[in-house]
Chain A
Amino acid sequence: MDYANLLAWITSAVTFGTVIMLGSIGETINQKAGGLNLGTPGIMMLGGMASLTGAFLYETRAANPNAFMGVLISIVSTIVICGLAGFIYALLTVTLRANQNVTGLSLTILGTGAANFLGGSLMKLSGGVGQINVPITSRAIRASIPFLSEKLGFLSETIFKFGWFVYVTVILAITADLFLNKTSVGLNLRAVGENPATADAAGINVTRYKYLSFIAGGAIAGLGGMFYVMDYTKGTWANDSIIEALGWLAVALVIFTTWKPRNSIWGAYLFGLCYWLFLYVPSGINAVLLKLMKIDRSTYLQNLYQMIPYLVTVIVLIFVSKKKKRENQAPGALGVSYFREER
């Protein structure tokens, strides 16, 4: 594989990796507070659509749309809509004590449906025809960082060539890790997910922590959808539900990282590399595989390469459960509703 190819591969991986990383940070916060949210893929779809709708309305209605406002509106709409989805999850699973798996899956059905519905209808609903497009906002989110991406030679070409939001995401992952492990609020949050009865007895408002964690988790995961729409599809919408597929990878990544956001920084890019592996496999390897499998076109193989992240996750899942190391286990009360007067 030549250098250009390698760079292209890394670029694609970083883009998708960033989407997955955001989803997984959100899901980790969710799970650390005891909520396995299978609605995350749907919430990410919603995030993509919310950011696009927000920016689209702004760019088409404002007299002189500017990039800063576009980005701001896009991020705020994502956070509001996805925070709301997180709130619905909290309302159902905490206050109304519904089953987490079922609630999450319902949210994914609703979120995916709503996003794809609007994706196909937004133009029509707003009275126009043609493709939705938010060039100004999208360009602003893809912008690379001025000095770092230009003046550092090799470094600029490799690690600093991406859009600024990629670095924001990495910082967010580090922040989330520090927040969970080094702050007292993070300590309380983890206590809620480990053992809510104990947290309750310690005076922690379990309900409030769960609500806030699920809302924050939803909002952060939603940003993953926003980044996909603004960066990868450059401010347009495609009804292919790739965000949803990435969302499931984000859920998988939480396990892969053994619930530690700092691991998601490399884990997400690794997933991204796996996702795009099919395009960059050296032809020699493909040739051997084709011969072994007695098929004639290498494009067939790409489907199998795309299976790798899921296979890897399954292997990690088995490995983690086999080792049973205390520090690497899921939060103690993950998936369990807490009701104080139950006895």
Chain B
Amino acid sequence: MENYAVELKNITKTFGPVVANKNACLNIRHHEILALLGENGSGKTTIMNMLAGIYYPDSGEIYVDGKLVSIKDPKDAFDLGIGMIHQHFKLIDVFTAVENIVLGLEDKEKKNIRYAEKKAREICDRYGFDLDLNMKVHEMNVSQKQTLEIVKTLYRGAEILILDEPTTVLTPQETEKLFNVLRNMREDGKAIVIITHKLHEVLEISDRVTILRKGETIGTVNTAETTAQQLTEMMVGEKIELNIQRDLVEHREKRLEVKNVTVINQEGKKVVNDVTFDLYSGEVLGIAGISGCGQKELLEAIMGLQKCEEGGSIIYNSTAHGVHQLVGLTTKEIIGFGLHLAFVPEDRLGMGLVGNMGMTDNVMLKRYRKGSGPFLHRQQPQATAAKIKDELDVKTPDLEYPVRKLSGGNVQKVLVGREINNKPTVLMTAYATRGLDINTSYAIYNLLNEQKKKGVAVIYVGEDLDVLLGLSDRILVLCEGRVNGILDGRTTTKDEVGLLMTHRKGA
């Protein structure tokens, strides 16, 4: 029997009623990059967290170098040479890079800051990392933070490295740099696991691929012997035509006219920079961009949740409600006008809904002021909630059951259902299908298309380029807060969009 670097056997882990992993198995070799592939919610991160000592499995066995081990906490994982780079960096903002590197170490020599600085410098030089070791983390950008995470893990002597979705926050150049580093580490004999849901990355970097679906291991294949098509099928379970129905609505009217909108965040950075575009009825305007390049703030600015700087203008033009300048209005005024601007925010339970309230009270969220007197009028929202529950097939025991306890897909149905129910003229969505299974995702795409056909102007902010290209009539690409181009969704290519996302014109 081969001695693997790590072998996971029949791992099961549940969180309350949610089964995150069920009898999952996988193995990792030295001198190898293993891709762990699966949709959002397939249990990739959970199973790796058990290897890193963040969670403890309910049942199952873990072998490291052929020996049965028990990893009760991250310290056990370090001692076994396992290091994980989490998607959300585990760094202390107010500490410097080198302080973060020595954090938690017990070895007398290793925890010495000066020694650490010297050694970390050596690691940086060896792999060509560019890192200021005395910089405070809160002053770093994402790529620097990730570099720090990797240097930290290597400094701790990790032989088995796990990277959780490392490229989501990186530009293509940064991704390429990272991949080179990973290849160098493979040459060094390290075992590397990269958790991802991006197929092209899997094909580019990995030696083998293990596919998880709904917490279970579906299979492991050699990268050289597989195709994107096969991986997709294994990942989603059935052959999926990534073909979203896209009709062309002939009659279009201008609904939003956004001109020179600039938003400055708390740190004084221009997160939205001089953005200008128009939005028409009967179209889906896709907004593409790497994460954190102003999508969220742009939508929030339209809703009056972000302050627009002087000189910006957002004209809302609806046949039913007339023409309004939105800049300078509060969210309450925008809602109160009866302007039918619907907004499905990225953070469903943290912004769009109230987790501990049931469907009725959540349906009421934007219109609780309706009706006279100081008291709430719950009858109508209750009827609406019942309607949404039926129409969108929301699985909930009753209308007062806290939405926090529903599954992600049902939560999103409640949110989208409420926004659509307000008969919007403009519907803005941010990452509307993030974390949802494929069927719910398609249900959402269909809902958006139906709205479009009814003449609603739809904005779709997404991260999956295939979906953006399949759904949008036009695609607006944001880069560092600026509009870097507006493309025709039917004729453009992924390459073109990807390039605009990462290379600012004229920069």
A interface residue numbers (CB < 8 A to B): 184, 187-188, 190-191, 194-195, 197-205, 326-327, 332, 340-341, 343
Looking at the assembled complex, report how far the CB atom of A298 sits from the nearest CB atom of chain B, in whole angstroms. Answer: 48
List chain B positions with a Cβ less than 8 A from chain A.
15, 52, 54-55, 73-75, 78, 84, 86, 90-95, 99-100, 102-105, 111-113, 138
Given contacts A199-B104, A202-B104, A327-B94, contact A340 B78 (CB under 8 A): no
Contacting pair B78 A203 (CB below 8 A): yes
**Interface pair A198/B91, CB less than 8 Å apart:** yes
Judging by beta carbons under 8 Å apart, are B93 and A194 in contact? yes
- Set of chain B residues within 8 Å of A194, measured between Cβ atoms: 92-95
Query: A203 contacts B74, CB within 8 Å?
Result: yes
Cβ B95 vs Cβ A326 within 8 A: no
User: B55 is contacted by which of A199, A204, A327, A341 (Cβ under 8 Å)?
Assistant: A341
Interface centre among B52, B75, B86 (most CB of A within 10 A): B75
Residues of B within 8 A of A327 (CB): 94
Q: Is the CB of A204 within 8 A of B103?
A: yes
Which A residue's beta carbon lies closest to that of B266?
Answer: A324
The answer for the CA separation of A302 and B392 in the assembled complex, in Å, is 69
If the complex has contacts A188-B104, A191-B103, A340-B54, are A202 and B94 also in contact, measured as CB distance less than 8 A? no
The one of A203, A340, A341 in contact with B104, judged by C-beta atoms closer than 8 angstroms, is A203
B318 to chain A, nearest CB (A): 40
Task: Report A-chain residues with C-beta under 8 Å of the C-beta of B103.
Answer: 187-188, 191, 198-199, 202, 204
Bound complex: CA of A184 vs CA of B102, how far in Å?
8
Q: Are A332 and B102 in contact (CB under 8 A)?
A: no
Q: How far is the CB of A249 from chain B (nearest CB, A)?
A: 27
Q: List 9 A-B pairs, Cβ < 8 Å.
A: A187-B103, A197-B90, A198-B103, A199-B104, A200-B73, A201-B90, A326-B94, A326-B138, A332-B93
Contact A343 B105 (CB under 8 A): no
Give min CB distance, A204 to chain B, whole Å. 4
Query: Closest B-chain residue to A200, C-beta based?
Result: B74
Asked whether, in the complex, the Cβ of A195 is within 8 Å of the Cβ of B15, the reply is: no
Choose among B15, B75, B92, B94 the residue that contacts A203 (Cβ–Cβ < 8 A).
Answer: B75
Residue in A closest to B136 when the chains form the complex, CB atoms: A326
Question: B86 CB to closest chain A CB, in angstroms?
Answer: 7
B49 to chain A, nearest CB (A): 10
> Least Cβ distance of B119 to chain A in Å?
15
CA distance A197 to B100 in the complex (A): 13
Most buried by B among A184, A194, A197, A204: A184
A184-B103 Cα distance, complex, nearest whole Å: 7
Distance between Cα atoms of A332 and B95 in the complex (Å) = 12
Instruction: List chain A residues, Cβ under 8 A from B92.
Output: 190-191, 194-195, 198-199
B114 to chain A, nearest CB (A): 12
Chain A residues with CB under 8 Å of B52's CB are 201
A186 to B212, CA, bound (A): 41
Least Cβ distance of B50 to chain A in Å? 11
A340 to B55, CA, bound (A): 8
A184-B112, A198-B90 given; name 6 further pairs at CB < 8 Å: A191-B104, A200-B73, A203-B78, A204-B103, A326-B94, A332-B93
Q: Verify A187–B95 contact, CB threshold 8 A.
A: yes
Known: A201-B54, A202-B74, A203-B73. A184 touches B90 (CB 8 A): no
Q: How far is the CA of A175 from the CA of B91 in the complex (A)?
A: 27
Other-chain residue from B86, B105, B138 in contact with A201 (beta carbon distance below 8 A): B86
Q: Which residue of B lies closest to A324 (CB)?
A: B266
Q: Which residue of A lies closest to B111 (CB)?
A: A184
Q: CA–CA, A327 to B73, complex, Å?
A: 31
Which of B75, B102, B138 meets A205, CB within 8 Å? B75
CA distance A188 to B54 in the complex (A): 18
Minimal Cβ-Cβ distance residue in B for A343: B15
Cα–Cα distance between A199 and B104 once the two chains are bound (Å): 7
Q: Are B93 and A195 in contact (CB under 8 A)?
A: yes
Residues of A within 8 A of B75 (CB): 203, 205
A340 to B, closest residue via Cβ: B54
Q: Which of B92, B93, B111, B138 is packed against the most chain A CB atoms within 10 Å?
A: B92
Tell me the complex Cα distance, A114–B372, Å.
54
Pick the 6 closest A-B CB pairs, nearest first: A202-B104, A203-B75, A204-B104, A201-B90, A203-B104, A198-B90
Whose C-beta in chain A lies nearest to the C-beta of B78? Answer: A203
Instruction: Tell me the minimal C-beta distance from A303 to chain B in angstroms.
Output: 41
CB nearest to A341 among chain B residues? B55
Query: Which residues of chain A have C-beta atoms less than 8 A from B91's C-beta?
Result: 198
Q: Give the distance in Å from the alpha carbon of A198 to the alpha carbon of B92 in the complex.
A: 7
Out of A184, A190, A340, A341, which one reaches B105, CB within 8 Å? Answer: A184
Cβ–Cβ contact B95 & A191, under 8 A: yes
The CA of A85 and the CA of B41, in the complex, are separated in Å by: 44
Task: Give Cα distance in the complex from A184 to B106, angstroms.
Answer: 9
**In the complex, how many angstroms separate the beta carbon of B472 from the nearest chain A beta carbon?**
33
Would you give the shortest CB distance from B397 to chain A, in whole angstroms?
A: 22
